[in-house]
Amino acid sequence: MVVSQEGDLFEMTQQPIRSLSSLINEFDSFDDPIPLPNIQTKELMSVIRFCSLYQPFNEIKRTLEFETAEELFPEWCVKFTQDLNMSELWELAKAAHYLDLSSLLNLTLCVWSTRVIGKTPEELRELLNVENDLTEEEISKINVKWI
């Protein structure tokens, strides 16, 4: 059993738990619930789902010569992330980092990056839900500086 930040209990088989190397190092047995104070319930549910679906895949290309996650990952990985918005991907990446779950961390960050590559500042603001608080004068100074 694992316990989320909010105190929700989740049952996991030992196989998915064993893929979480940071937990193995901290706990000698899996008899007592394992607290995960840095992971919220929603992200923990996604981590458990990922671990249950996980099948090893080839190492990710160490290049940015791709445009979509489909070019890098097996179909099950793409389906796992396709309905997640940018905020959910980021929270899941933080959970994967906390758990030292490199396969999920690589997946979430690569999908996140493929969604932002090639976007204009306006498209990025919309995608990331960031308000433009620059004045016209500040924007013109930026445009002159980078042209």
Taking only the tens place, the pLDDT of each residue in 118-143 is: 888 889 888 888 888 888 888 788 76
Phi, psi (deg, nearest 5) at residue 34: -95, 115
Q: Quick one: tokens of 84?
A: 């997640």
* C-alpha to C-alpha distance for 107 and 51, rounded to whole angstroms: 13
Angle subtended by helix axes 102-116 and 121-128, to nearest 10: 130
* C-alpha to C-alpha distance for 41 and 59, rounded to whole angstroms: 29
Check residue 131 and report its DSSP letter.
Answer: -
Domains of the chain, with CATH numbers? 2-58+65-116 (3.30.710.10)
- Give the pLDDT confidence of 47-83 residue by residue, as tens digits: 888 887 876 665 555 555 666 777 777 888 888 898 8
Q: How many angstroms separate the Cα of 43 from the Cα of each of 8, 37, 130, 133?
A: 12, 12, 22, 31
The pTM for the full model equals 0.73
